[in-house]
Amino acid sequence: MLPSDFQTVEVNTDLLILGGGMAACGAAFEAAYWAKKHGLRVTVVDKAVMERSGAVAMGLSAINEYIGIREGEHTCEEYVKYVRQDLMGVSREDLVYDIARHVDGTVHLFEKWGLPIWKDEKGNYVREGAWQIMINGESYKVVVGEAAKNAMATLGDKGQILERVFVVEPLMDGDRCVGAVGFSIREPKVYVMKAKAVLAAMGGAVHVFKPRSTGEGLGRSWYPPFNSGATAYFTIKAGAEMTCQEVRFIPVRFKDAYGPVGAWFLLFKSRATSALGGDYMTVRKAELEEWAPYGLAKPIPANLRNHLGLRDVYEGKGPIYMQTAEAIQNLAAQYKDDPKGFKKKMKELESEAWEDFLDMTVSQSILWAAHNIQPEEKPSEIMACEPYFIGSHSGASGAWVCGPEDLMPAEYRKQWEPIGVYNRMTTVKGLFTAGDGAGASSHKFSSGSHAEGRIAAKSAIRFILENNTEPKVDPAEVEKIKAWLLRPLEIFAKHHKETSDRNINPNYSIPRQFMFRLQKIMDEYAGGVSSCFATNKPLLERGLELMQMLKEDSEKLAAEDLNELMRCWENYTRMWIAESHMRHLLFREETRWPGYYIRADFPKMDEKNWHCFVNSVYNPKTGEWTLKKVPIVNLPV
Ligand SMILES: Cc1cc2nc3c(=O)[nH]c(=O)nc-3n(C[C@H](O)[C@H](O)[C@H](O)COP(=O)(O)OP(=O)(O)OC[C@H]3O[C@@H](n4cnc5c(N)ncnc54)[C@H](O)[C@@H]3O)c2cc1C
């Protein structure tokens, strides 16, 4: 396949939604409503198929953000405090509050569209923990994707969905983002998409760090392998300010199959213990004082829980076990004098426990079967995964975005006054984001990402109405981007005969080898699994040096076909999020999130100097990065 085989498809639209995941589906649903009112066009572009794309593709067993305002269960203020606590004080509370006040409505829509939500005998949603509700979620994404498509269909020929189109590069009109360029992964077509506003919602990133699963298990990770940093790349390259790029997420999950632990910890009240040292949360309780005030308040932040478990692992006290059998026995204990009731309860618990895995991580059930583990009889190993970038979950990486008019602190508002105050617009005019794309506002999860997509889309439509000018794009620039996107095909065609093994060639690098190089740098220099999640200034500086060389070699990425072309750009965008991560790690001279990473040269938290956001900007014109501290303004809650 050669670049000359490609046809150019030009798309002209008003709102361009990039991605088809939870945030993009929310955006499409909301945009369709407002666009119809105003006669505007909306285009959605997903690299996969919306019913099964993104992090929710395989399904989920719980909706992790539901406030329960109508039920009088919780308030938005409480949610803001919870997120503040879990993120060790670092969160954009205006954004978190804004999502919390809209998220319940989104969950009610999911139910209306057909998502089965567990109910108790009184008809109330079954809570997994304080904020989560249980679902039969194998088809969660199908339900949400279908609803987005139905909404888009109401636009008639003004609504367009492009699937299996992989987006790479932003299109700029001066400082305004006016579109994107991508290519089909099924046929030789380059898409040049021009729009009056762009909403980038292409998820977070996985496989930036070397995964624990290698060899025959390569590709298995907690985060499904589809997201590769496309949103971060898109926003960085457009010149948007980024925030919290140092705040990666490392979940502790069932070992090797990466099965979820939430239901076991929260619903079944299970304990995790080391093989030699008991329950590390009890045994090591005193160590939490080092991380006051967050270490001493409840709930204990996820990273600190990781940290205590990892301390046991590093002292050689592993494996760490989830005491599944003990938890089930405890729950059934109340029936000890009622054998029939006991049997019934055990059956119920067993089915709830298995449901959890069958909904979202079938492979966990397969692994248990393969290892002869009956969780109700035998404990299972749990382990910290490799780092991921998922700002919508318990990480916080993403773009620095405008907040809602009524909640955004005046200090932040000033930044948007010259370009327009539009909720969820990045610092680049016309470029919006949501879900994993919007930083410093974690714990939105699936429901909050959908709600945020809706917020962003409504705001983007207002932007279009108030800035209704046709996008102007330099045709020469478009041609340059097209040639650059397809270059890996040309390189492969030119050089593949110069070797007896297509994978090894002095003139090119195939994406798989390139990914291994990237992952090795991140693993060894930026605090990956094999470095026990620790790094320091000299390591990061050396890592950035190696990254620079990798960047030079990215010019020689080669692809044989469309699938490999996609792999090239997946790894290229991973490289950018990796660089941005290292620069943030280097800038923040403290350890604030042990359990996610440790700056060994600054091993303590420093509230006085580092209770702040770290923000960065890449200047596309000069290639320079600028980093700065930004004060945290708390809401009065
Ligand atoms: C393993 C795991 C378990 C989770 N468990 C829960 C849970 O139990 N409860 C809960 O509420 N939340 C859970 N979450 C969180 C939830 O899945 C995310 O918060 C949510 O999916 C984020 O939405 P998003 O739209 O930002 O990203 P995603 O939903 O991941 O969507 C990203 C979209 O971008 C597309 N895309 C990617 N790259 C490109 C490209 N280059 N071009 C075009 N399209 C592209 C993808 O195909 C996809 O459509 C979990 C997440 C993970 C990873």
Domain CATH for 297: 3.90.700.10
pLDDT confidence of residue 500 = 92
Nearest CA to ligand 1 atom 53: 223
How many whole angstroms separate alpha carbon 574 and alpha carbon 556?
A: 16
| 380 shares a domain with 495 | no
- Which of 25, 103, 165, 227 maximizes ligand 1 atoms within 8 Å of its Cβ, making it the mutation to test the pocket? 227
Last residue of a domain, one of 359, 384, 409: 384
In a domain, 328, yes or no: yes
Last residue of a domain, one of 384, 402, 429: 384
Last residue of a domain, one of 356, 384, 412: 384
In a domain, 140, yes or no: no
Nearest CA to ligand 1 atom 46: 54
Residues with CB under 6 A from ligand 1: 18-24, 45-48, 53-56, 60, 62-64, 166-167, 201-203, 222-223, 226-227, 230, 390, 392-393, 435-436, 445-447, 449
In a domain, 284, yes or no: yes
In a domain, 546, yes or no: yes
| 498 shares a domain with 370 | no
In a domain, 251, yes or no: no
The residue whose two tokens read 């699963």 is: 213
In a domain, 294, yes or no: yes
Its domain, for residue 504, covers: 484-627
Nearest CA to ligand 1 atom 27: 203
- Which residue numbers are catalytic? 64, 128, 222, 253, 356, 393, 446
Residue 556 to residues 305, 501, 518, 520, 568, Cα–Cα distance (Å):
43, 17, 14, 19, 10
| 501 shares a domain with 372 | no
| 623 shares a domain with 494 | yes
| 622 shares a domain with 490 | yes
pLDDT confidence of residue 394 = 96
Atom of ligand 1 nearest to the CA of 23: 25
Atom of ligand 1 nearest to the CA of 388: 53
pLDDT confidence of residue 575 = 98
Q: How many domains does the chain contain in total?
A: 2
| Below-70 pLDDT ranges, the chain | none
Which secondary-structure segment (H or E) carries 553?
helix 537-553
| 373 shares a domain with 497 | no
pLDDT confidence of residue 277 = 82
pLDDT confidence of residue 345 = 82
The residue whose two tokens read 């994993």 is: 436
Give the predicted TM-score (pTM) of the model.
0.97
The type of residue at 46 is D
- Which of 11, 22, 454 maximizes ligand 1 atoms within 8 Å of its Cβ, making it the mutation to test the pocket? 22
Query: Which is it for strands 15-18 and 42-46: parallel, antiparallel or unpaired?
Result: parallel
How many whole angstroms separate alpha carbon 61 and alpha carbon 117?
A: 10
In a domain, 212, yes or no: no
How many whole angstroms separate alpha carbon 509 and alpha carbon 503?
A: 8
CATH number at residue 618: 1.20.58.100
Q: What is the pLDDT of residues 465-517, one digit of tens each?
A: 999 999 999 999 999 999 999 999 999 999 999 999 999 999 999 999 999 99
pLDDT confidence of residue 353 = 78
In a domain, 498, yes or no: yes
Count of positions (residues) in the chain:
637
| 380 shares a domain with 271 | yes
| 376 shares a domain with 490 | no
